[in-house]
Amino acid sequence: MYMALKHSHMGFAYLSVILFVLRFALAYYKPALNSNKVLNIVTHGINALLLITAAMLCLQLQQYPFTDGWVTAKFLGLVVYVVLGVIAMKKASLKMFVAALVVFAYLIGTAKAHSALSWLAVVFA
């Protein structure tokens, strides 16, 4: 059960970032196409499933934000990622888009290392 849940969560995370990149490209190059209802619904659905699987993993692992450091780092990183993503989409800001992707990379490293040091923990382990 754990492995299926973990891989589902990872898959939703990758789908979410792929959709973010696609939607940003549309917002940046063809703003009129970015308001596609189907694309918005799919994006929100994937993100909802991502959050649901994250909550289920927390429950299964019994590791929660504000009690376990790496889970707290992922939670706070997610908030930063969402804020940067919203700014990037609304203003079609390439700098905010890149910053959001850097935060996403940090989140992946945090998940892999189970450490708030993210990729540094992987490199120096």
pLDDT by residue (tens digit) across 83-107? 999 999 999 999 999 999 999 999 9
pLDDT at 123: 81
> pTM of the full predicted structure?
0.89
Q: Which of 91, 102, 110, 119 is nearest to 17 (CA)?
A: 102
> Nearest to residue 71, comparing CAs of 84, 54, 48?
54
Write down the pLDDT at residue 35: 78
Write out the residue range of the structural domain in which residue 67 sits: 2-123
The candidate with the shortest Cα–Cα distance to 9, out of 46, 59, 60, 64, is 46
Please give the tally of structural domains in the chain: 1
Tokens of 108: 């992946």
5 close to 13: Cβ distance less than 8 angstroms: no
Task: Give the residues of the chain that fall short of pLDDT 70.
Answer: 125
